[in-house]
Chain A
Amino acid sequence: MLETGRLARRAAVLPAASVTRGAVVIRPLGAQSRFSLRTRPATAEALGTVAGFTLALPINRMSTAGERTSLRLGPDEWLLIGPEAETDELAEAVSAEFGERVFSLVDVSHRNVGIEITGRNAAHVLNAGCPLDLAEAAFPVGMATRTVLGKAEIVLARTGVDAWRVECWRSFATYVHGFLGEGALDFVAVTG
């Protein structure tokens, strides 16, 4: 049987160029490796860290160490994001560290598309389609959660005061990218 490995190439669904609307910049992120990890909270607490990904986090918080980011989306669910070139190695390293413990690790690298949105009004642009309270008091830097944007489900993470990461499913990517671009049009005259 032909073993192709996980590093199969797939054409990018979004144009690589950034979209700039006034002070808001919407930038599609490049290919990365992503894993959906499910395990019991007690197991994650006991391990603390696997393969450089921090699991011992409060729910809806993220942790970044170098190029490896872990987002705790629920009591038993984590999204792990790492460099694309290390996809196979990461899967093996995580599996090895779990050993005999019960867990599920699914490669979703090609399922998701990442979009970065930065700028003073980035939170307002997201609020065009996301009903969450995105003020710093309610959604501080380092918070990450699954939510909705318009009619699409996204994972939203605040990486900086004015910097956000949006992860959506590949088939929603053109919709989400277009939605953010449309939402940002409202702020062109104010800031530009």
Chain B
Amino acid sequence: MLVITCPNCGDRPELEFRCGGEAHIARPQTPAELDDGQWGAFLFTRTNPKGVHAERWIHQHGCGRWFNALRDTVSDRLIATYPMGTPRPDAGAGAAPSSPASPTSQP
């Protein structure tokens, strides 16, 4: 089971969480001025990267709050979590290994 670090509650099992899709997608300020293509892109087009992906998660069965997480879509490793409204941290992007656990984390 994955252990996800909630910014409010600390390390918790993944059963308590739900994923809410890609993070940092801002709703257009003036939707009426968009054409169908632009609106469709806002609704449906996602980056779907192979590698580090910024996602929204909610601690549904815990504090009930949303937060953002960086997850590696190859290894399913959660690299970092950070509160809603804060910019995506850069540190995790390069430092995240897609390989299994690093030797330093083993006893």
Contact = CB atoms under 8 A, between A and B. Distances in A.
B62 interface: yes
A59 interface: yes
A171 interface: no
Interface string A46-73: 0000000000000110000000000001
A148 B15 CA distance: 8
Contacts of A145: 9, 62
Main secondary structure of the interface of B (DSSP, over half): loop
B63 A59 contact: yes
Interface residues of A, number: 13
Interface in B1-46: 1, 8-9, 12-13, 15-16
Interface residues of B, number: 12
B65 interface: yes
A25 B1 CA distance: 30
Interface string A148-161: 10000100000000
A132 B65 contact: no
A84 interface: no
Contacts of B64: 73-74, 77, 146
Given A60-B9, A148-B15, A131 B65 contact: no
A147 interface: yes
Nearest to B1: A131
Interface in A122-171: 131-132, 145-148, 153
A127 to B, nearest CB: 11
A131 B1 CA distance: 9
Interface string A86-128: 0000000000000000000000000000000000000000000
Given A77-B64, A145-B62, A146-B62, A59 B1 contact: no
Contacts of A148: 15-16, 61
A169 to B, nearest CB: 12
Nearest to A72: B63
A83 interface: no
A74 B8 contact: yes
B8 A59 contact: yes
A74 B15 contact: no
A148 B61 CA distance: 7
Given A59-B8, A145-B9, A73 B16 contact: no
A75 B15 contact: no
**Which 10 A-B pairs give the minimum distances between C-beta atoms?**
A74-B63, A131-B13, A148-B61, A153-B61, A59-B8, A74-B64, A146-B62, A148-B15, A131-B15, A75-B8
